[in-house]
Structure 1
Amino acid sequence: MTTLDWKRSSFCGGGGNNCVEIAVNDENDEVAIRNSTRPEHVIRTSRAAFTALITQLRTSALR
């Protein structure tokens, strides 16, 4: 089993415990996403789908 290296959003700030966290699993090309207040609830998706989501969010923010 792979141990995931969780990274917090740069928008988390102040050491709060209400943060989005992601971890990349290179073994199966997936991204795991969770909220730090409920770390047992993890959403897993493909790296391609996650990249598409981030691209769409950035594009929408520029409009």
Structure 2
Amino acid sequence: MTPPPKATLWRKSSYSGGSAGNACVEISERTAHISIRDSKTPAGAILTFPTSIFAAFIGTLKPSPPTHPNSHHPRS
């Protein structure tokens, strides 16, 4: 007999805003995928992505370091 799947463990994003519970996103991490949901509607829609795709997405959100110390200040 196959055991039932483990309950999904959700944690709030460290970037969720407000102490009143506004704009909270929860994440569930598994080996092969990452799931995301709105904490205000836990029974609502869940977005699920392969771990590698989610990591690439997060990588695009992080600012890239300048290639040269003065590259962010164009010279006239």
**TM surpasses 0.5:** yes
Matches of 1:34 and 1:51, distance apart in 2: 17
* Structure with a larger share of its residues in helix: 1
Structure of higher CA gyration radius: 2
Moved over 3 A (4+): none
Is residue 2:32 matched to residue 1:22? no
Higher strand share: 1
Q: How many residues in Structure 1 have an aligned counterpart in Structure 2?
A: 60
Identity value in percent: 32
- Which residue in 2 is equivalent to 1:34? 37
Q: Can you give the 5+ residue segments of structure 2 that lack an aligned partner in the other structure?
A: 67-71
CA displacement at 1:2 relative to structure 2: 2.8
Amino acid of the residue matched to residue 15 of structure 2?
A: F
Query: Secondary structure at the residue paired with 2:7?
Result: coil
More RCO (CA 8 Å, sep 6+) = 1
Cα RMSD (Å) of the superposition? 2.2
Alignment-derived partner of residue 59 in structure 2: 55
| Partner SS state of residue 59, structure 1 | coil
Letter in 1 for 2:39: S
